[in-house]
Amino acid sequence: MEEVNKRPGGQISKRTSKVIFVCDTSGSMLENGKIAELNSCLRESIPHIQKIADEATNAEIQISIMGFNNVPKWEEQNKPIKEFTWKDMKANPDGETNIGAAFDLLALEMNSPTMPERGYPPLVVVVTDGLATDNYTVGLQAFLQSKWGAKSVRYGIAIGKDADVSCLTKFINNAERKPIKANNPEQLAKAIRLVSTVVFKQVVAPPSTPPSAVPATPTASLVATAPVAPTAVETSSDVW
């Protein structure tokens, strides 16, 4: 019979699982409908994550959405996915791509008291269409060296040919996992679908590890169970 972790009084003990989308809302995201397509793709991903939450009896899933341009801000933070309703992000026409400031804010979150003592590695997905307009090195290192940033499963989605693939590669910090390139709406939809379904489901319940056997402090082997994403999705002609 499968073991079930319980708290005193017989209540099932769930481990927190966080999914965090960090989204570029700079002025260039208004070009060719990129911000509208990103909003649409993320909106459509929510029911899939909620379905995973319904099936993952071992996990309490929370979602956070950060938008960044000149200044990063949390659109939603640590919201239980079952209570979450998508609200469209707005791009700033005069906004720059200050991704370093976004990494700084992420680093604060990864070290904050809101992060669980016992939990699954957070899934952090950064989506951008441009080159960084600030020095992101310090913020990125702070994130990667933070308690949960180092344990996180990290994916990057590069929208269009001008996206800062080098920055996303350093953020992912995994030789076997490259940024996913999305040069049209179909590729973007497939990329968001991949990270919000296949990847997240394996982060919450790794196939080689029964939920009852997942360690309280995630290990490198647990993080490694996330699949390697393709660098591009075979689809129609480029738009961005």
Place of tokens 């973007």: 188
Lowest pLDDT segment from 11-25, 95-109, 142-156, 194-208? 194-208
- Average pLDDT score over the chain: 86
| CB of 17 closer than 8 Å to CB of 55 | no
Sequential DSSP letters for 191-231: HHHIIIIIIHHHHHS-TTS-GGG--SS--HHHHTTSPPPPS
The CATH homologous superfamily for domain 15-223 is von Willebrand factor, type A domain (3.40.50.410)
Residues 6+ apart with CB under 8 A from 110: 122, 143, 146, 147, 148, 149, 152
Indicate if the pLDDT at residue 101 is higher than 80. yes
Amino acid present at 35: I
Stretch 195-212: mean pLDDT: 74
Which residues contact residue 213 at a Cβ distance below 8 angstroms, ignoring those fewer than 6 apart? none
Centroid of chain to Cα 26: 18
Query: What distance in Å separates the CA atoms of residue 199 and residue 125, rounded to the nearest whole number?
Result: 11
Considering only CA atoms, give the Rg of the chain. Answer: 17
Q: What is the pTM of this model?
A: 0.85
CA-CA-CA-CA dihedral for 89, 95, 96, 99, to nearest 10: -30
Q: Could you tell me the sign of the dihedral formed by the alpha carbons of 108, 111, 117, 121, in that order?
A: positive
* Structure confidence at residue 72 (pLDDT): 98
Q: Which residue has the tokens 């609200």?
A: 87
For residues 16 and 118, the model is more confident at: 16
For residue 225, is pLDDT > 50?
Answer: no
pLDDT for 103 beyond 70: yes
Provide the pairing of β-strand 15-24 with 123-128: parallel
Residue owning tokens 């959405």: 65
Residues 227-237 pLDDT 10s:
555 555 555 58
What pLDDT does 6 receive?
46
- 143 vs 215 pLDDT, higher one: 143
Band of residue 36 on the pLDDT scale cut at 50, 70, 90: very high
Mean pLDDT score, 203-207: 72
Domain chopping of the chain, boundaries? 15-223
CA 191 from chain center: how many Å? 12
